[in-house]
Every structure is written in structure tokens, then in C-alpha cells.
Structure 1
Amino acid sequence: MSAVIANVTCVAMRGRAMMISGPSGIGKSSLALALMDRGAELIGDDGVTLDQVGELVVATPPPNTRGLIEIRNVGLLEVPTARAPVAIVLKLTKDAERLPLGHKTSLLLGREVPLVELYPDTPYLAIRAEAALEMHGLD
């Protein structure tokens, strides 16, 4: 089973994919760039291809924008890409709970993946995203 998901950005860190969702303009690409500055690799910006591989949902670059990430007000940057199993979905929302008890889940190709909502307007968003991967992401 395979699907192309639009309006999401995805990066790989330590062999695990973080799929970033949220409305247009909320900062998905900016978070991906900040995570890339912390060692992550781009999988896809503004879209990702998901494939079921055994029990895993694996994220790969979408063919139409492979290797391109938008830097708002600057242009498109060409970077190497990766592929990795999706370990967590990070939903950027201004309604994120300050101190949630646990995490929610997202259904990807019939498989439940942890979902953590993050408030987007903070200079520490990449640190929070990385902590969410370590605390709630699938191994």
C-alpha cells in the first residue's frame, strides 16, 4: 500500500521520520530547516510518499519536489534526501495543550503513529520537536 500525502513536511533524525503537519504558513518548512540544522535530513517538503513495509510506514521523498525545501521569502533550497520509518507526527497548532498527559495518535496507512501537538511560535520549537521524538516516537 502506498499514498502521497500533501501539505506535510517530513525529516529523518537518527533513522526515524518526523512528519510535520499543520495549516499553510504555520512554519512546517521552518521547523524542518531548524531540525536539519540539528542534524536531521529532509525527506519531503510540502508532501511525502508513504509506503507500508511490513509493520512499518516508511516515508520517502515525493517525486515532484524531491530534494527541494522552501525558505520563505528567499526561495527553494536543494538538499540531499533520506527515507525512514515514520516514528511521530508533529502537528503545529496554536491550540496545543501546555502540559498534555500523554499523546494522541494519527492513523497512517492503517497504522497508529504517535501524534504530538506543538505550539509553533517559539524559538525552541526544534528542541521541543526533538524531545517529542525521543519521548513519544516509535523506535
Structure 2
Amino acid sequence: MLLHASSVAREGEAVLLLGPPGSGKSDLVLRLIERGWRLVADDQVVLAAEAGVLRAGPPPALHGLLEVRGLGIFRDLPVAASAPLRLAAHLVAREAVPRLPEPEGWTQAGVTLPAIRLDAFAASATAKLGLALDAALGRARQRAGAFA
């Protein structure tokens, strides 16, 4: 199934970035790539459920391409192959991000992922996404020392 979204991966584990045009998906992807993440897909993501795992990949025509607003289309970026999704991030305005959120989920093709709400334009968005992925993977304590 094809979804209007973007996806990035860190250490082979992918995050799905959901939001309307202009919500900051590609901008956040660019900043995450600078932090060592890899592009899975920008603007459109192909989702496939395999044995209870939802995988993200790019449509063939967009493989390895990232649109950078104001600069154009870029190639030759660090790219990840299809990767298992571990977290969904709804990109929303700052006011829509709860201070102390209740756990949320996002379901597609019978697979439910942990979900968060995130202001993509916040300076801390890349760090927050990394922490949320760690928590989704059960590794929050392992990486907590990186922020101490």
C-alpha cells in the first residue's frame, strides 16, 4: 500500500513520519540524515505487512530522492533498504503536542505501532525522535546515559 508519508531508519529500524504537506517531514528527514540516520523514503512510502511486521520502503521512482524545500531534489544520500517500522510520528503544530502524553498507537494492515505527536520544526525534534524510537525498542535505559 502507498502512503503519503516519509520514513527514515537508524540501525535498521524505521520510523514513519506522518503529516500533511508543509508539516516538516522532509525537513526532519534532512536533519536526521545529518545525525546518522538513513533515508528510507520521502513523500511516499510503500508499506507491506510481513509476518506481523510492517515494513517501509520507497516507490521505485523515488528511491534515494529527497526534496529539500527551496533547493530542489537531492540524490546520493545515505539510503536504507526496506526496513521494519517500529514507531509512527504524527507531525503536528507545537500546541498539539501533549506535555505528558498517554500512550498512542497507529494501526495499518493489522499491525499496531507505538505513535507519538511531534513538532518537526522544534530544535529538539531529532533527539526526541531518537528517544521515542529507543523507548519503542525497549532500549530507553541503554541510551539514557547519552543525555546525562
TM-score (norm 2): 0.85
Match of 2:8 among 11, 25, 29: 11
What does residue 101 of structure 2 align with? Answer: 100
Q: 2:23 & 2:49 partners in 1: Cα distance?
A: 28
- 1:43 Cα deviation from its structure 2 partner: 0.7
The one-letter code sitting in structure 2 at the alignment partner of 1:20 is L
Q: Is the contact between residue 49 and residue 111 of structure 2 (CA under 8 Å) also seen in structure 1?
A: no
The one-letter code sitting in structure 2 at the alignment partner of 1:96 is V
Q: 1:18 & 1:54 partners in 2: Cα distance?
A: 18
Q: Is the contact between residue 88 and residue 138 of structure 1 (CA under 8 Å) also seen in structure 2?
A: no
Between Structure 1 and Structure 2, the one with more helix by share is 2
Q: Gaps spanning 5+ residues in structure 2: where? A: 140-148
Helix, strand or coil at the partner of 2:60? coil
Q: Gaps spanning 5+ residues in structure 1: where? A: none
| Moved beyond 4 Å, runs of 4+ | none
Q: Deviations over 1:19-49 (max 9, x none)?
A: 0011211111111111111111111000111
Q: 2:121 & 2:9 partners in 1: Cα distance?
A: 22
> Is 1:72 aligned to residue 69 of structure 2?
yes
Q: Is the contact between residue 33 and residue 78 of structure 2 (CA under 8 Å) also seen in structure 1?
A: no
What does residue 144 of structure 2 align with? Answer: none
- Percent identity reads 31
Q: CA RMSD in A?
A: 1.5
TM-score (norm 1): 0.90
Between Structure 1 and Structure 2, the one with more strand by share is 1
What does residue 20 of structure 2 align with? Answer: 23
- 1:108 Cα deviation from its structure 2 partner: 1.7
